[in-house]
Structure formats: structure tokens, C-alpha cells
Amino acid sequence: DTAVSQTPKYLVTQMGNDKSIKCEQNLGHDTMYWYKQDSKKFLKIMFSYNNKELIINETVPNRFSPKSPDKAHLNLHINSLELGDSAVYFCASRGLAAREQYFGPGTRLTVT
Amino acid sequence: SQQGEEDPQALSIQEGENATMNCSYKTSINNLQWYRQNSGRGLVHLILIRSNEREKHSGRLRVTLDTSKKSSSLLITASRAADTASYFCATAGANAGGTSYGKLTFGQGTILTVHP
């Protein structure tokens, strides 16, 4: 009965590879987010989708491309991975009338 | 520097003591939220305070907001070892309420350690 789930939990890959992280929420929420948490625990929003439409697109390299096939899923594809992409990536969701966000468990990406 | 800066960066206390964490921010807000992150886990929402509120309680949590000073504090009373975690404040901008999509700006957090 996990509310927001992410796969994989850990991802170790080499520079230059392309990888994807998947997120699913079963809360019926309309809005989903991707955040990046760096080694100093600073959490920064990357993207947000509302009902499959991109609504927030922060200053993120265009190697990062989110995709929302339906409002319950938001995936993150990263091309040409770089060392600086190593971080924990969190997916979150939010209901239309709510203010709080529900976070997934995170995906720890390590680029070697 | 970033919106939502917390202090202290780390706090170590004994079980039963109170823990106070502070958050400062720079721009006008619609609301301010506090989240907890246990080691290796996602963030969990604790409490939200709107810009027109000054104080809010939830169980052992008390949050205050001073919009004139652009600051908030989170008080955890009678702390327990299970409260050991990182605590983050997050702000939603003044035009981020209502029909907007809730962009939150997080601080770097306070690491709280409660010793049994």
C-alpha cells in the first residue's frame, strides 16, 4: 500500500550512460514532482507535472527529461550522465486541494 | 543564499528535552511547512502554517511564524530517540497557494540527534 514508490532504489552507472528512474503514486493526486538532494542534503525542485502537463521546469540541464504517461506516473530520464548528477532523486505528489507533498523513498544515483 | 535556511545545522539533546529549530526565508510566502527525513528515507510532512497564522500545534510539535522577521521555529517537546532525523522547512511563495501547483523551496535542514 505504498503511496509514492520509486524504482530503482539504488542506481550505479558510468559516466556517459543513459538511465531512467520511475515513480508511481496511488494517492489519486494530480501533481507530481522531481527533486534532487545533493550530498549536503540540499533539496531542490527540478520538475513538476500537473495531470500530465509540465508546469514547473527549473534550471536543469536538458539532459534531464521528465515524462508523465498518466497522472499516476512521472519518470525521469537522464542522458549522458555526469559525475555531478550523483545525488538522491525524490519523487513527490500533491493533491489538488492540499498544500503538503508526499515523498517517495528516493533513488540514490551514483555516477562513476 | 537559499530560501529557507535552518539553524542550527545540527542539534544533539537527551531524551525528554525540548528541541527548537529555526528557519529563515527571504521572500513573501503563502505557507511554510516542516518535513522530517529519517536517514535513507523520503521526507514526511509534519505541519503547515499559513502566512496569516502565528502559531500552530500538532501533538508534540509547535510551530511559530513571524512574517515580519521572515522566520519560523519548530519546537518538539519531550523528545524521544525516535525523533532523531533531519528536519526541513519549506516555503511556498506568496503566489503559490490556491490554484498554483505548490512549488516548495527547501532549506538545508537541521540534523537532530536525540540520545536515549
- The more confidently predicted of residues A59 and B65 is B65
Rounded to the nearest 10 degrees, how much is the dihedral formed by the CA atoms of B18, B19, B22, B23? Answer: -120
Q: State the Cα–Cα distance between residues B36 and A103, nearest whole angstrom.
A: 11
In a mutational test of the A interface, the residue from B2, B39, B43 whose CB has the highest number of chain A CBs within 10 Å is: B43
The rounded mean pLDDT for chain A is 93
Residue B101 to residue A31, Cβ atoms within 8 A: yes
The confidence score (pLDDT) of residue A98 equals 79
Residue A103 to residue B42, Cβ atoms within 8 A: yes
Beta-strand runs (E) in chain A: 4-7, 10-13, 19-25, 31-37, 43-50, 53-57, 64-70, 73-78, 87-94, 102-103, 107-111
Question: B56 falls in which pLDDT band (50, 70, 90)?
Answer: very high
For A3-58, how does the pLDDT look when each residue is reduced to its tens digit (9 = 90+)?
A: 999 999 999 999 999 999 999 999 999 999 999 999 988 999 999 998 888 888 88
Residues near A97 by beta carbon (within 8 Å), at least 6 away in sequence:
none
For B99, the 3-state DSSP assignment is: coil
Question: B7 falls in which pLDDT band (50, 70, 90)?
Answer: confident
For B67, the 3-state DSSP assignment is: coil
The confidence score (pLDDT) of residue B89 equals 95
First and final C-alpha spacing in chain A: 34
Residue A103 to residue B108, Cβ atoms within 8 A: no
* Of residues A4, A75, A84, A95, the one with CA closest to residue B41: A4
Please, are residues A38 and A87 in contact by the beta-carbon 8 Å criterion? yes
The confidence score (pLDDT) of residue B1 equals 34
Question: Chain B, 93-112: which have a CB under 8 Å from a chain A CB?
Answer: 97, 101-106, 108-109
**Residue B49 φ/ψ region, left for φ over 0, alpha for ψ in the -120 to 50 degree band, beta for the rest:** beta
Give me the total of CB pairs closer than 8 Å, taking one residue from chain A and one from chain B: 56
For A57-105, how does the pLDDT look when each residue is reduced to its tens digit (9 = 90+)?
A: 887 899 999 999 999 999 999 999 999 999 999 999 998 777 899 999 9
